[in-house]
Amino acid sequence: MREGSLEAPTRHPIPWQEPSFYDEAALDLELRRVFDICHGCRRCFNLCDSFPKLFDLVDAAPSEELDTVKSADFGPVVDACTLCDMCYMTKCPYVPPHSFNLDFPHLMLRYRAVEAAKGKITAADAELAKMDRNAKLASLAAPIANWASDTSNTLTRPLLSKFAGLHPDAALPKFEGQSLEVRAARTPLEINRDAPGFGRKAVIYATCHGNHNDTAVGMAARAVLALNGVETQIVYPGCCGMPLLEQGEIAKVADSARHVAAELGIWIARGYDVIALVPSCALMLKSEWPLILPDDSSIKTLAKASYDITEYVVDIAKKEGLAPGLAPIGGSVAVHMACHARAQNMGQKAAEMLRLLPEADVQVIERCSGHGGSWGFKNEYFETAIKVGRPVARTARDSGKSFVTSECPLAGVHIMQGIDRLPGDAPKPERITHPIQLVARSYGI
């Protein structure tokens, strides 16, 4: 038996359609096998709250070993996992092809799938995961929705805490009354035919956040691409299903995958690349969907055609070269590498893209912001999320950089909330929602 592995991690398809996947006795045996390996290793002690909870559970057991830990006590360990994949991608020496075959995040997903099959998802969580419905309703009355969700609203935030489980201090995404699809349709762009990248065609998969919560990111992306000769179309067939994946609703994620892949497949057949504006959504298209539906040819085709927006701009720069016209942005940048960007195993594309700007001064922060999707909004976890992200907030503030940015829109807001809670009166950097907006600024957009 060799200790650890020097080989690249590989992942197995998720056998969610097999009855054995939901066998609780088999699940408990696998939890105990994996938890015992983690307890003996403890390399991931500082990644997220799952591992401290697990190790404290074992240390408090009568034998100080897993054999005297009750299976009923495993729940908090699972609940603390945000499916960020950082243990799998960056820390664990026992992932496949190692014989220990350890995939902690997908084991937590299996536990949640079993719980979901038993009907144990709360009504609040089930409703919050209906991203498209919620976004459409909120967008119809965006000013009212944003007023009600603001952390300063002492009338409505206690109600959201009581009935939706959202922490009163957690900054929630704002909504826009006009979607990215509508904005783009009303704002035609001229393609720069003289750009080295002219001839490329790409569909921008708007994502639920990009389509309804922050359309400026998508508008900046399409403007930058147009300047670089790329013909783009904004398309949004529906949510990628990441919020449903967090809850273990794998069948519903598969339904979303089939629907989105079918529509995007029409564009791929016409020679278009696919660009996702949010790294979590890009990860779903590239990695999670192919593991959930490994035999679906449309899913395989989509995975091969998909890019993160920063990855795509860097690809243009390397293969054809960027269009001229970039100018200094008037400040230095601290760029946070989002966990789901790192999990795509494509390198630090956001930082690589920003270093293409003239006089670029870029500092990389490669550590979890602590937010973890919907997890960081919740009453039970918001303060822990702030604690986990405090090193990122401190690094961003103390970096002395003019701007702080992250590819993950939720992480960026969370980092700024962490900075606000730090002691001292050091100046705060300006938050830029997404690195692509700094490229747009460099082009004078």
pLDDT in tens, 195-204: 999 999 999 9
DSSP string, 251-299: HHHHHHHHHHHHHHHHHHHTT-EEEESSHHHHHIIIIIHHHHSTT-HHH
State the Cα–Cα distance between residues 361 and 305, nearest whole angstrom: 32
pLDDT in tens, 292-316: 999 999 999 999 999 999 999 999 9
Weakest-pLDDT range from 6-15, 218-227, 266-275, 408-417: 6-15
> What are the structure tokens assigned to 191, written together?
């393609």
> What are the structure tokens assigned to 20, written together?
């054995």
Give mean pLDDT, residues 273-280: 96
Residues above pLDDT 70, as percent of the chain = 99
The model carries a pTM of 0.94
The number of CA neighbours under 13 Å toward the Cβ of 246 is 23
CB neighbour burial string for 79-107, b if at least 16 within 10 angstroms, e if fewer: bbbbbbbbbbbebbebbbebebebbbbbb
Pure H helices in 42-168: 50-59, 75-79, 86, 104-117, 123-128, 131-140, 142-149, 157-164
CB neighbour burial string for 410-433, b if at least 16 within 10 angstroms, e if fewer: bbbbbbbbbbeeeeeeeeebeebb
pLDDT for 165 equals 94
Which residue is listed with tokens 């696919």? 274
pLDDT for 426 equals 87
State the Cα–Cα distance between residues 46 and 63, nearest whole angstrom: 24
The DSSP bridge partners found for residue 362 are 333
